Amino acid sequence: MWNLVKFTAASCRRSRWLSTAIPGPCIVHKRGADILHDPWFNKDTGFPLTERDRLGIRGLLPPRVISFEQQYARFMESYRSLERNTHGQPDGIVSLAKWRILNRLHDRNETLYYRVLIDNIRNFAPIIYTPTVGLVCQNYSGLFRRPRGMYFSAKDKGEMMSMIYNWPGQQVDMIVLTDGSRILGLGDLGVQGIGIPIGKLDMYVAAAGINPQRILPVMLDIGTNNEKLLNDRLYLGLRQPRLEGEEYLSIVDEFMEAVHTRWPKAIVQFEDFQMKWAFETLQRYRKRFCMFNDDIQGTAGVALAGLLGTVRAQGRPLSDFVNQKIVVVGAGSAGLGVLNMAIQAVSRMAGNNDSTARNQFFLIDKDGLITKERTNIDPAAAPFAKDPRELEGLSEGANLLEVVKKVRPHVLLGLSGVGGIFNEEVLKAMRESDSSKPAIFAMSNPTMNAECTAADAFKYAGENIVFASGSPFENVALGNGKFGHVNQANNMYLFPGIGLGSLLSGARYITDGMLQAAAECLASYMTDEEVQSGILYPSIDSIREITAEVGAAVLRSAVSENLAEGHGDVGPRELRLMAKEETIEYIKRNMWFPIYSPLVHEK
């Protein structure tokens, strides 16, 4: 857990006010109730008397001053009491109630909100991130109280350059952008998908220490093809079908130009775009702006780290990765991203070309095994299609069970969005795997879309497996006091570090080399003992630690590729001269940490 022991008050204060200090007797330019209504400055009952006097809020609060620690304890007590009072109610109701109490705090007092989030990340990540964020998006129109982030719609064409200046923050470092077309495994949720950029950016603050004043969640509302939403009177987005083709791209182009005109160094993370636009926009912008696609690139790195971990878990050298047979279920943006990166890793290790490296991978989509005989094959999936002449006993469209039985894979990895598709028969077939420790990755989100539950995986595939899921599950009791470890294979282990490392290096754009460095850093983070007991990823409690390391790896890679232009007072030359440990220290020093800071200068 990260607490004050790791951040001195002085360093916290520095980072807290870096962008906001205004010279003069008061640090903040607002006065009176405006301060109480600004969640960034608000301290609720925590304002000391001098600040109440000098900021014109004396009398606007009850007289007693409550310390930050007391406020923290009071919030946690309310949270626990909510847990007690909702005990036994349906999961969805409990989760939404928890989300509401956190969201109310977020709306009111950001310092306290981010502090409870950071200190309790294990308990709160499942509320502000997957799985509950999915439910929040599904119910967004009903839950909507106050706007957060920015909304650019197809109706705003021609206006975006001026709209971007409506954002009140002076500086924006990190943007998460979605068009709502593929929200987790829940499909097209239109404007309601804004919950995802908000949740991802909360993870940026918690894990990477990005200053919350410098984040911007963005929804590009280009319509929706979700009939239910189109017919819903209370739907808050454009009630029109999605724009396509050049019309669509011209909206995204306009947004990207507007953002980078106002904040040339802002990093844009594309999130939860349907596959065709995910690939197209990545191709279109990756050499022009500092951007990446989290579902394609972040997920790939996390999956690759997990795949390398499974090799180590079998007690085999990493070089044995080239011999592992891997079945990927789901040929969308995430599945194809994983395949691309894993195949590049095999090529590098084996010193052969990509086409030889592809031999050990099998790709399945909704129509079964993808082979070269597939008509209307998606061009993005085509390079991974199997040659039927090289398949014994399997043909085009073979179903998942047939493939698992025939291939006896070392790893079964799901990114299909289809809950329960790794059913009892499929999991039992994994008992015949050629691996001494087969791995099952049910990576789809949210929980109900996971390809299988953790309990089913250990029950049917055997206790000897390595298991990972995209959304969290409890460890599984196996009897005799033993537990099956549940890993969370989620891109949250990488995207914060990719964003932070890119930001602090001042990288011109984000290269494959930087992403590979991030994945390698995560892959080598765990010890052999941990990996051999089935623990492939660090505990979420240490997500700031791992993010600092990943960020440093990304930064150093940007430096080595001559892409680092520096950040703030730290120029490219200083970055180049930093040793590895110094880079990690530099990253940590720049992480924002929530603590109340004085709003007036001492007289």
Ligand X SMILES: NC(=O)C1=CN([C@@H]2O[C@H](COP(=O)(O)OP(=O)(O)OC[C@H]3O[C@@H](n4cnc5c(N)ncnc54)[C@H](O)[C@@H]3O)[C@@H](O)[C@H]2O)C=CC1
Smallest gap from residue 96 Cβ to ligand CC(=O)C(=O)O (A): 19
Shorter beta-carbon distance to ligand X: residue 435 or 491: 491
Of 488 and 597, CB closest to ligand CC(=O)C(=O)O: 488
271 annotated as ligand-binding: yes
Helix (H, G, I), strand (E, B) or coil at 469: strand
Residue 331 contact among ligand CC(=O)C(=O)O, ligand X, Mg ion, none, beta carbon within 5 to 8 Å by kind: ligand X
Task: Judge residue 24's burial from the number of C-beta atoms within 10 Å of its C-beta, 0-12 exposed, 13-18 middle, 19 or more buried.
Answer: exposed
| Token pair in block for residue 454 | 């953790």
Question: Which one of residues 192, 447, 491, 590 is an interface residue with ligand CC(=O)C(=O)O (CB under 6 A)?
Answer: 491
Among 119, 254, 272, 530, binds ligand CC(=O)C(=O)O (CB under 6 A): 272
**553-572 residues near Mg ion, rule: CB under 5 A:** none
Q: How far is the CB of 271 from Mg ion (least distance, A)?
A: 5
CA 215, 220, 221, 227 torsion-angle sign: negative
Verify binding: residue 173, Mg ion, rule CB under 5 A. no
Instruction: Choose between 403 and 421: whose C-beta lies nearer to ligand CC(=O)C(=O)O.
Output: 421
Strands (E), 291-360: 291-293, 326-329
Number of residues that bind Mg ion (CB under 5 A): 3
Smallest separation, CB 327 to ligand X (Å)? 11
In this structure, are residues 295 and 333 in contact, taking their beta carbons and an 8 Å threshold? yes
Q: Whole-number minimum distance, CB 595 to ligand CC(=O)C(=O)O, in Å?
A: 30
How far CA 187 is from CA of 184, 227, 420, 573, in Å, comes to 7, 12, 17, 46
Beta-strand pair 411-414/476-479: unpaired
Q: Which of 42, 109, 487, 490 binds ligand X (CB under 6 A)?
A: 490
Q: Sketch the per residue contact string, 254 through 293, with Mg ion: x for CB under 5 A, - otherwise.
A: -----------------xx---------------------
CA angle 362, 364, 370 (to 5 degrees): 80
- Phi–psi pair at 482, nearest 5 degrees: -95, 155
Q: Is 184 in the site for ligand X (CB under 6 A)?
A: yes
Burial class of residue 481 (count of CB atoms within 10 Å of its CB; 0-12, 13-18, 19+): exposed
- Count, residues in the chain: 603
- Does position 295 bind ligand CC(=O)C(=O)O by CB under 6 A? yes
Residue nearer to ligand X on the CB measure, 420 or 572: 420
d(CA 322, CA 342): 10
* Nearest approach, Cβ of residue 449 and ligand X (Å): 5
Q: How far apart are CA 558 and CA 474, in angstroms?
A: 38
Tell whether residue 489 is a contact of ligand X (CB under 6 A): yes
Q: Considering the rule CB under 6 A, would residue 557 count as an interface residue with ligand CC(=O)C(=O)O?
A: no
* String marking each residue 358-397 x if it binds ligand X according to CB under 6 A: ------xxx-------------------------------
Angle formed at CA 410 by CA 406 and CA 415, multiple of 5 degrees:
90
Of 270 and 458, nearer to ligand X (C-beta) is 270
For residue 120, say whether it is annotated as part of any ligand binding site.
no
- Contact between 363 and ligand CC(=O)C(=O)O by CB under 6 A: the answer reads no
Query: The dihedral of CA 300, 304, 310, 311: what is its sign?
Result: positive
Kindly state whether residue 334 participates in binding ligand X, applying the rule CB under 6 A. Answer: yes
Q: Which residues contact 237 (CB under 8 A, 6 or more apart)?
A: 153, 180, 190, 191, 192, 221, 223, 224, 229
Contact by Cβ (8 Å): 242, 181: yes
C-alpha 390/C-alpha 170 separation (Å) is 59
Structure tokens at 502: 């890119």
Residue of the chain from 295, 456, 530, 549 that contacts ligand X (CB under 6 A): 295
- List, by residue number, the catalytic residues: 129, 200
- For residue 24, the one-letter residue type is G
* Residues 109-138 close enough to bind ligand CC(=O)C(=O)O by CB under 6 A: 130
**528 in a known ligand binding site:** no
Residues near 326 by beta carbon (within 8 Å), at least 6 away in sequence: 307, 342, 360, 361, 362, 409, 410, 411, 413
x/- track of binding to ligand CC(=O)C(=O)O for residues 178-217 (CB under 6 A)? ------x---------------------------------
Q: Which one of ligand X, Mg ion, ligand CC(=O)C(=O)O, none is in contact with 415 (Cβ closer than 5 to 8 A by kind)?
A: ligand X
Q: Does 224 bind ligand X (CB under 6 A)?
A: no
For residue 182, say whether it is annotated as part of any ligand binding site.
yes
How many binding residues for ligand CC(=O)C(=O)O (CB under 6 A)?
A: 9
CB of 333 to ligand X, least distance (A): 4
For residue 594, whether the previous peptide bond is cis, meaning omega lies within 30 degrees of 0, is no
How far, in Å, CA of 493 to CA of 299, rounded? Answer: 9
Q: What are phi and psi of 213, to 5 degrees?
A: -75, -10
The single residue among 445, 453, 488, 547 that binds ligand CC(=O)C(=O)O, judged by CB under 6 A, is: 445
Q: Is 591 helix (H, G, I), strand (E, B) or coil?
A: coil
* Token pair listed for 296: 């394609």
Q: How far is the CB of 6 from ligand X (least distance, A)?
A: 27
From the CB of 562, what's the least distance to ligand CC(=O)C(=O)O, in Å? Answer: 30
What secondary structure does DSSP assign to 487-526, as a single string? EE--GGGTHHHHHHHHHHHTBSS--HHHHHHHHHHHHTSS
Q: Per the annotation, does 232 bind a ligand? A: no
Measured distance CA(335)–CA(403) in Å, rounded: 17
CB of 274 to ligand X, least distance (A): 6
User: Is 275 one of the binding residues for ligand X (CB under 6 A)?
Assistant: yes
Where is the binding site for a divalent metal cation, in residues?
A: 271-272, 295
Binding residues (CB under 6 A) for ligand CC(=O)C(=O)O: these are 130, 184, 272, 294-295, 445, 470, 490-491
Footprint on this chain of Mg ion (rule: CB under 5 A): 271-272, 295
Q: Which residues are annotated as a binding site for (S)-malate?
A: 182, 445, 490
